[in-house]
Structure 1
Amino acid sequence: MKVHIRDASRADYPEIARIFSAVMPQRPLTAETLEHHLQILLDHPLRPHLREWLAEVDGEAVGQAMVFQSPSMFHPDRYHVELMVMPTHAQRGVGTRLAQEVEAHLHLRGAREVLAGAYEDQPHAVAFAQRHGLKEAMRVFDNVLDLGSFDFSAWDTQAQLPAGVRAMTLGELTREQGDDAAMRAYHSAFSEARLDVPRSGEATELTLDDFQKRAQSPNFFPDGVLLAVTDAGEVVALSELWRSPTGPQRLDIGLTGTRRAWRRQGLALALKLEAMRQAASAGVRELWTGNATTNAPMLALNTRLGFRPRPAYIEFHWGNV
């Protein structure tokens, strides 16, 4: 089998998204979403690096690799790698050829730290990462809730916000405050809450411009963003739902968090329950979320709510900056 490796371009995004979705059906990707994410990266003032390859056999795209720097956790010597091979061509040398291109490129770039990942139920992918010198850094469970069997009545007494705070969707807050003010209030709370999300490196500042571009994603769902808003108009907690490429019966949970001064008052739980209630009313059957194994409070909350873990995504790590 002859494998041809070439540089990938925007025209290849449908093929890259197809490969990504076949390898990781838990996290399906569309060409439109991929283009949106990569355009944010390319437009970012930090000028993060991006390089893409496609592996072809007899003219068919069967694998892809990407080296990039994440604006959300940026360091000039830290690189993220995504390398995926279609299940039909796995363990046939395609990944090895792509890895050779990636490793040569990282060497030229002088990379001092590399992050990559694979699901634990894909042992060949895990072994591949380990053979290339990467070690496990953290695990993130996919947690899934069956909304069809959820008993909301059992949680009525725990879905209350404190006095002076009301639950609003981002759409409602926008209609009340206007686009700019609502987005600034949402961004301010999000920026504080995200600092406590477990990650492999220090978080980079998320500017308002970056945040507004994030909200332009094809999967962004303004009426799925639940906010706890004070009488003064300050957002003090949030729980996000995002559309899924799998269809209208699934939504993905983004960030759920609370400003530090407002914690331990049940705000995150109340918002998550309200988001779940609205999703169920709209006919959504499943909610998916990712929880790092080190995030004990959120894992405990989701377990109480009835989320059940699926195989974990393992983040691998090499080097240090």
Structure 2
Amino acid sequence: MTAIRPVCTDADYEGWREVLVAIHPQERCPSVAELRDVEAPKRLLLIAKLDGKVVGTGLSDRSVLADRALVMVRVLPDARRQGIGSELLHALSHHAVAQGYEIATAGLDDEGSLAFAQRLGFVETRREVEQVRRVVAESWPESARLYDIVSVAERPELWAKAYEQVALPTFSDMDVPVWPAVSGEEWAELWINDPEAMFMAVVCDEVIGVAGLLVDADRPERAEVAYTGVRQEWRRRGVASNLKRTSMAWAADRGITEIYSWTQQGNENVRALNERLGFTYGAISIKVQATLPLHLPCAWPR
């Protein structure tokens, strides 16, 4: 028998994480502490249990794309085709509507999932590509003449400035339907998880560029490339390349053997930069959206 309920306890959070790690072993999954840190009234996490075992998860939250809800459903392969995914999606859709959202977005991993989503009213909006690079013996870049590269750990007071001076002016470079809506608090909490692994290019007390890594506690040998951005007037001077090479040298010194990045297919500049730095292509993520409410043939709770 299937039972679906909200995540409440640390054990629930661990079960939620275990499903994501099992389905996406190649990607970083937030820790229980990180998930707890972003708890909010409008955010809903669900677990689906089949015969007492967690076999599926759901998430409904505000998308970084303005005025849209993010919904995410994941079901273990052995528990699929039993209506669990549809039931989770029904609950998430109901919650998103209750929060006032009219559009839901989601990310999918394969054509089969896309076909399932299309039957429920979702349409494809764009695709993101994974770029992967092995980390070997990496050289630290030479010091630049016009700017310094420092970690956020060295200059923590500048991370808020990085939001104002780099993030906000460069979000429009992303190949997305609408620009991301990221608050300063979210920038501080969600876009960095280790101040030593995030780097800034600085001129005096002005931040001109950022790049770094999001470390993975479950798989410490891998790390995800964090947000990379350089102010318009400082582009084509090697700033982004030096920042990324700094992060790769940092990774090599700490035993990280592989880094990966998710980039919009239309963001040719970042993809080209990664190619020059030795990244190769991996998986594809399909982004979809649908008008709410979804019309699904199941009800929740039961």
Render the CA deviation track for 1:185-240: whole Å, top value 9, x for unaligned: 33332333334223332322532x3333337x6xx12121122111x221111111
SS in 2 for 1:191: helix
**1:90 is aligned to 2:89:** no
The structure with the greater share of residues assigned to helix is 1
1:27: how far off? 2.1
Q: Check whether the contact 1:134–1:318 (CA below 8 A) recurs between aligned residues.
A: yes
Q: Which runs of 5+ in 1 are unaligned?
A: none
**1:310 is aligned to 2:266:** no
Q: Check whether the contact 2:121–2:291 (CA below 8 A) recurs between aligned residues.
A: no
SS in 2 for 1:129: helix
Give the AA of the match of 2:209: A
1:151: how far off? 7.1
* Structure 1 partner of 2:260: 288
* Structure 1 partner of 2:194: 221
| Change in CA separation of 1:309 and 1:103 when aligned onto 2, cut-off 3 Å | same
Q: Check whether the contact 2:212–2:243 (CA below 8 A) recurs between aligned residues.
A: no
Q: CA RMSD of the aligned region, Å?
A: 2.5
* Structure 2 partner of 1:166: 148
After TM superposition, the structure 1 = structure 2 runs for residues 111-260 of structure 1, keeping only pairs within 5 Å, are: 111-120=101-110, 123-148=111-136, 159=141, 163-172=145-154, 174=155, 179-180=156-157, 182-188=158-164, 189-207=166-184, 209-214=185-190, 220-230=193-203, 232-260=204-232
Q: Which runs of 5+ in 2 are unaligned?
A: 293-302
Give the AA of the match of 1:229: V
1:93: how far off? 2.3
Q: Check whether the contact 2:173–2:267 (CA below 8 A) recurs between aligned residues.
A: no
Q: Check whether the contact 1:162–1:265 (CA below 8 A) recurs between aligned residues.
A: no
1:134: how far off? 0.8
Render the CA deviation track for 1:1-40: whole Å, top value 9, x for unaligned: x32222332442111111122222222423223223x33x
1:105: how far off? 4.2
| Change in CA separation of 1:267 and 1:55 when aligned onto 2, cut-off 3 Å | same
2:224, 2:289 → 1: CA distance? Answer: 26
After TM superposition, the structure 1 = structure 2 runs for residues 259-274 of structure 1, keeping only pairs within 5 Å, are: 259-274=231-246
**1:54 is aligned to 2:47:** yes
2:251, 2:45 → 1: CA distance? Answer: 37
* Structure 1 partner of 2:296: none
2:182, 2:251 → 1: CA distance? Answer: 31
Give the AA of the match of 1:221: D
1:115: how far off? 0.3
1:151, 1:211 → 2: CA distance? Answer: 29
1:171, 1:8 → 2: CA distance? Answer: 33
* Structure 1 partner of 2:272: 300
| Change in CA separation of 1:221 and 1:105 when aligned onto 2, cut-off 3 Å | closer
Give the AA of the match of 1:200: P
Give the AA of the match of 2:129: F
TM-score normalised by length of structure 2: 0.85
* Structure 2 partner of 1:19: 19
| Percent identity for Structure 1 against Structure 2 | 24
